[in-house]
Amino acid sequence: MDFTVIPAIDIMDGSVVRLSEGDFYRKTTYTAAPLEAARRFEDLGFSRIHVVDLDGARCGHVINYRSLERIALNTGLSIQFGGGIQTGSDIDIAFASGAAAVIAGTAAVDDPPLFRQWLNTYSGRNVILAADVRHDEVAVRGWTVSSGRGAGEVVGEYIDDGLQTVICTDITRDGLLNGPSLDRYRGLTAQFPDLRIIASGGVGSLRDIEAAAAAGCSGVIVGKALYENRISDLSLKRLLQKQGDPLCRQNG
């Protein structure tokens, strides 16, 4: 599998923000608007971005779909979109607003028949499972509630239903720039070798990106490190221009 580096745009109150450990009261707000951030990433050479509706995640339904729509209409980026996708109406809004793929976690835990229906209707290529963990338990409803279940258990429930891609965020590392949870990803990629496992949380350097690839991940989501220039634009361009390096090939 090719390895994909995916920049993150988290939206709250119309602004680009980053949370620390998923805490809505520990946020950093950046000056760039969502569309401006997306254009920067496109100019750098990325083809895919990760957009999260934090207001939607907190409230339980999609809210920032207009920001998604503006990015989709004004860039050529492929957008994976999550946050508040818990009903059929939410997923319809996301796709209608320009998402290439949707990300759902709460629905997968709370309503397995609905999540299976989405996999069947939209295919595993277009529906991504978020198995985000805090202290080894998947957290749902905007990361505010523990499901009491491990990531492997939740992912395994859909292994025969066409699931192709899983994003696993280590919430205790998210926004802290202290490195990804490599042992966790080694375990998941070993347990589910046919799935694309996307690492998220803690990435603070190019070395962290390389470590996620070495751990068997199919991609990594990078947020705060990009906004705070822990990884320079020049370094990113060089990374993305290495045509023969599987680390740098971009999936649309």
Three-class HEC string of 188-241: HHHHCCCCEEEEECCCCCHHHHHHHHHCCCCEEEECHHHHCCCCCHHHHHHHHC
Is the pLDDT higher at 246 or at 168? 168
Distance between CA atoms of residues 57 and 53, nearest Å: 6
- Is the distance from CB of 98 to CB of 71 less than 8 angstroms? yes
Instruction: Spot the catalytic one: 53, 55, 132, 208.
Output: 132
Quick one: pLDDT band at residue 65, thresholds 50, 70, 90? very high
Res. 46: pLDDT tops 80: yes
The three-point CA angle 138-140-144 to 5° equals: 105
Looking at residue 249, its pLDDT comes to 39
Task: Output the six-digit token pair for 92.
Answer: 């319809």
Distance between CA atoms of residues 61 and 68, nearest Å: 14
Decide if 92 is catalytic: no
Digit-coded pLDDT (tens) for 142-187: 999 999 999 999 999 999 999 999 999 999 999 999 999 999 999 9
* CA nearest to 106, candidates 149, 160, 43, 77: 149
How many Å separate Cα 90 from the centre of its chain? 17
Contacts of 233 (CB under 8 A, 6+ apart): 44
Digit-coded pLDDT (tens) for 97-127: 999 999 999 999 999 999 999 999 999 999 9
Scan for tokens 């690492």, then name that residue.
199
Residue range 127-141: average pLDDT?
A: 97
Where are the extended beta strands (E) located within the chain? 4-12, 15-20, 23-29, 48-53, 78-82, 101-104, 127-130, 133-134, 137-140, 145-146, 165-169, 196-200, 219-222
- Is the domain covering 4-248 a CATH 3.20.20.70 domain? yes
Digit-coded pLDDT (tens) for 23-37: 999 999 998 899 999
The three-point CA angle 95-156-197 to 5° equals: 60
Distance between CA atoms of residues 234 and 226, nearest Å: 12
Mean pLDDT of the chain: 93
Decide if 10 is catalytic: yes
* CA nearest to 151, candidates 164, 138, 163: 138
* CA nearest to 146, candidates 132, 167, 128, 130: 132
Query: What pTM did the predictor assign?
Result: 0.94
* CA nearest to 35, candidates 77, 63, 80: 77
Residue range 205-213: average pLDDT?
A: 95
175: alpha, beta or left? (left if phi > 0; alpha if psi -120 to 50): left
Res. 248: pLDDT tops 50: no
